[in-house]
Structure 1
């Protein structure tokens, strides 16, 4: 089997999470500057066996797409051209940032540590990936 890689895409930073090769455990990998994301993904997928990208799909409470979807769609088009052999699935990412923040509180991180937006993005990507693992429809 191969890894599954999840992205919490943002215009400034993108949180990244990955599974183990057996696709049992989702772990935060890193957060990268979005301008460097494509380079990171090309390098990572050349070094690791990745079979699927999971990308968060931001929706509003009424299920309409969020305004950030425009930039995500552009990124997906670029990703499909750059790494065409790895399919992409979308997962609803509503509440992941709030869940990530609560996870940080529950983990006992200090207020200063909880202000680290890069860590929030990485945890959000992990939550997106866990959601997929629990319900891979």
Structure 2
């Protein structure tokens, strides 16, 4: 039941970001699904390995790969699916708690939370870069084969 609830919440959160970023109307539901699949990947990895950084990396990688595949299939830019799709993975709470710890002069907590938040942000970017590079490599190989 918890997985279904998280799927639904991440779906609507991604749809909200899609509307905010003014993506085409025919892609809103699809981008919501991409974001939900990325979040479910994150949740699965987090439950198996208890690592939010690894979960975020694989969630972002899933969003990137699915976004690139859908972009090719639907003939739209990949950013239409990837940008709203990573919104559920963004470590907003980590940034908030880092700033709160700094304001409350709990510098050790701020360093710990801030470091994990930074690693999560880097994991998102690496996951997207790897999926984008993989897509470009596949396109290059297909072009050479023709």
Between Structure 1 and Structure 2, which shows a larger proportion of strand residues?
Answer: 1
- Indicate the structure (1 or 2) with the bigger Cα radius of gyration: 2
Verify same fold: TM over 0.5. Answer: no
Q: Which structure shows the higher helix fraction?
A: 2
TM-score normalised per structure 2: 0.28
